[in-house]
Structures are given as C-alpha cells and as structure tokens.
C-alpha cells in the first residue's frame, strides 16, 4: 500500500531577530493569509534578481512584473518619474507594501531592475515612448 506523499513548498527562512520588519511570523500565524511571498527563498530570490538584470525589452519587464504578482503577490510599478528623466534614476520603481516581503528584497528588486535598464537602455526608451514622453523629440 502506497502512502500519500505530502510535498510542502519550501518557505523563506526567517530573518535574524530585529534585522527585518517583514512580519513573516505574524503572517504565518494568520489563518487564510496569502503566503505566496514566503515561497521566495533566498535561492529563488537570487534567480529572480539575476533574471531582472537580464531584461530583454519592455515586454519582458512587463511579463516579469506579471509573474512576480501572480506567483509571489509582489506588485512592482515601473514608470518615468515626475520630473525630467535624464538617467535611469529618473525611472521610478515602486513596490506595494506586502506583509512577509523582506526589507532587503524590497530594496534589491528595484536595484536589479535598474541594472537591467542600464544593461539595455532601449528598454528605458520604450518605457518613455509608452508613456508619450518622447513624442516631441
């Protein structure tokens, strides 16, 4: 007779006490909580960040934004800043508040996206075009 195998999804290990304000433990204790973000283990995070640094085009960035939301619940907005965009720092990258999202990860995702934009500046131009910021040039 075969025993039913229960495979559990590996969850991110907790941050050292006092090092983070992610709220991982209270999230685990909350019945019915969305635990998708806790599936982003440190190894998976490295893979995600490396992938963000190798963006191919604007559609690729949008695809990754969609996948991050579907799989992890992370909502990332990338848009030209309010002021004039002269460098990649003029591109605003915002991540919605999400219980369980590590403070370091919250900083690392925009950094990786900026590296991806720097590695492939055409994406920034596509982003500006998509927002009608280059229409008069």
For 78-130, what is each residue's pLDDT tens digit?
987 665 555 555 688 999 999 999 999 999 999 999 999 999 989 988 887 77
Give the pLDDT score at 11.
86
How does pLDDT run across 6-19, given as a tens digit for each residue?
456 788 888 888 78
Place of tokens 């799989």: 71
pTM beyond 0.75: yes
Instruction: Look at residues 105, 95, 110, 10 and name the one whose alpha carbon lies nearest to residue 52.
Output: 110
Instruction: Look at residues 90, 99, 110, 126 and name the one whose alpha carbon lies nearest to residue 48.
Output: 110
């Amino acid at each position: 007779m075969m025993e039913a195998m229960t495979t559990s999804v590996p969850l991110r290990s907790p941050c050292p006490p006092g090092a983070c304000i992610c709220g991982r433990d209270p999230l685990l204790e909350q019945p019915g909580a969305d635990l998708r973000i806790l599936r982003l283990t440190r190894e998976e995070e490295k893979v995600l960040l490396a992938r963000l640094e190798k963006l191919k085009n604007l559609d690729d960035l949008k695809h990754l934004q969609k996948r991050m939301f579907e799989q992890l619940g992370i909502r990332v907005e990338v848009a030209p800043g309010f002021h004039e965009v002269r460098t990649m720092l003029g591109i605003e990258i915002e991540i919605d508040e999400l219980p369980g999202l590590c403070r370091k990860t919250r900083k690392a995702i925009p950094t990786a996206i900026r590296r991806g934009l720097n590695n492939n500046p055409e994406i920034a131009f596509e982003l500006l075009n998509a927002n009608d910021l280059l229409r008069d040039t």
